[in-house]
Amino acid sequence: MILVTGATGLVGHHLLEELADLGAPATGLVRVEARGLGLPGGADYLVGTLDDPGPSDVLRGFDRVFLLSPMHEGQAELEIAFVDALISAGHRPHVVKLAVDGFQDPDCEVRFMRSHRLVARHLDAMHIPVIYIAPNLYMENLLSLADEMRDRGLLAVPGGHAKVGFVATSDVAAVAARVLIGDPEEHLDHVHVVTGPEALSYADVAARLSAVFAREVDYHDQSLAEARTAIHARGLAPWERDGMLELHEWARHGGCATVTGTVRQLTGREPRPLEDWLGELRGAFVGRPQELSPPRF
């Protein structure tokens, strides 16, 4: 049986859909019981949190665990507490951990990547069998810029000329599902870097937006000071704000330009192009109200 943490989030939701389509029963960890009732694919649910995931005998019922937590200052502690709960239960299931591309690079000092690296070190030290899913930036991040695109026709990011291999969270989930149901011994310790089909500059993204929505969107390469002001206006906690600036700096220097064939290799289908994803979210970019929230990162 598979346990999916982060079941109510962007990736987790798609993952439960994929697992149901593949005929693999799964249980979602939910913090609030009411949210467990509507999980995709009629998945079962377990009420708990990563730092209090439920009784040992229940945890021992899962031989595979998808480990995902939201990006925030306490992320590493939260995931480490969950790993320790498994160990206290006398249990070492196969873990498929959602990380982020760059976490495996010891020279990448972006705090988001460092948090995942801390968890990876703990999994390693505890001898937990693990496979990593390391996505490039989610297409869903563009939702945080949708208001400005709609109101001012501007895509304002401190991106320079660098390219990003944006990936749809549905593709991340499709890969994770195949890894969860596959032979866990086959790819032990492997890092599956998951990307979209191509690396796009923000000028390319603006051109795709213009084409899909038939309205002019221009790319404005923000200065660091402009980016700082815009990120502050989003009301993020200081740790996340500084992390966003570090991430932009990393991307600006080519850290997010990776494109891999992972989606095709593991799912047998092509990764979603940006135009396809944009078309589905037309309402968020050209209409009001915006119903879908962007990821925090």
Ligand X SMILES: NC(=O)c1ccc[n+]([C@@H]2O[C@H](COP(=O)([O-])OP(=O)(O)OC[C@H]3O[C@@H](n4cnc5c(N)ncnc54)[C@H](OP(=O)(O)O)[C@@H]3O)[C@@H](O)[C@H]2O)c1
- The contact mask relative to ligand X for 84-123 (x = CB under 6 A, - = no) is --------------x-x-----------x-----------
Q: Using an 8 Å Cβ cutoff, are 5 and 69 in contact?
A: yes
Residue of 2, 3, 10, 16 interacting with ligand X (CB under 6 A): 10
Let me know how long the chain is. 297
Q: What is the DSSP letter of 165?
A: -
Q: Under rule CB under 6 A, which residues in 11-30 are in contact with ligand X?
A: 11-12, 29
Among the listed residues 126, 266, 131, 256, the one whose alpha carbon sits nearest the alpha carbon of residue 202: 256
SS3 21: helix
For ligand X, the closer CB: 137 or 149: 137
Helix (H) or strand (E) holding 67: strand 64-67
Q: Under rule CB under 6 A, which residues in 138-157 are in contact with ligand X?
A: 138, 141
For ligand X, the closer CB: 218 or 249: 249
The least distance separating ligand X from the CB of residue 255, rounded to whole angstroms, comes to 12
Q: Is the peptide bond before 197 cis (omega within 30 degrees of 0)?
A: no
Using CB atoms, what's the residue nearest to ligand X? Answer: 9
Q: Are strands 163-164 and 200-201 parallel, antiparallel or unpaired?
A: antiparallel
- The contact mask relative to ligand X for 178-197 (x = CB under 6 A, - = no) is --------------------
- The contact mask relative to ligand X for 121-140 (x = CB under 6 A, - = no) is --------------x-xx--
Residue of 16, 78, 205, 281 interacting with ligand X (CB under 6 A): 78
Q: Under rule CB under 6 A, which residues in 32-71 are in contact with ligand X?
A: 32, 35, 49-50, 68-71
CA–CA distance, 1 with 205 (Å, rounded to integer):
40
Residue of 1, 21, 25, 31 interacting with ligand X (CB under 6 A): 31
For ligand X, the closer CB: 218 or 245: 245
Q: Are strands 191-194 and 130-135 parallel, antiparallel or unpaired?
A: parallel
The least distance separating ligand X from the CB of residue 185, rounded to whole angstroms, comes to 25
- Note whether 200 binds ligand X by CB under 6 A: no
Q: Using an 8 Å Cβ cutoff, are 133 and 97 in contact?
A: yes
Identity of residue 237: A
Among the listed residues 223, 205, 224, the one whose alpha carbon sits nearest the alpha carbon of residue 285: 205
The least distance separating ligand X from the CB of residue 137, rounded to whole angstroms, comes to 4
CA–CA distance, 78 with 214 (Å, rounded to integer):
44
Phi, psi for residue 94 in degrees, rounded to 5: -75, 125
For ligand X, the closer CB: 59 or 78: 78
For ligand X, the closer CB: 5 or 262: 5
For ligand X, the closer CB: 99 or 206: 99
The encoded tokens of residue 184 equal 């866990």
For ligand X, the closer CB: 87 or 216: 87
DSSP for 167-217? B-HHHHHHHHHHHHHS-TTTTTT-EEEE--SS-EEHHHHHHHHHHHHTS--
> How large is the angle between the packed helices 75-88 and 111-125, nearest 10 degrees?
10
The least distance separating ligand X from the CB of residue 295, rounded to whole angstroms, comes to 4
The least distance separating ligand X from the CB of residue 143, rounded to whole angstroms, comes to 10
The encoded tokens of residue 269 equal 């289908």
Binding site for ligand X (CB under 6 A): 5-12, 29, 31-32, 35, 49-50, 68-71, 78, 98, 100, 112, 135, 137-138, 141, 295-297
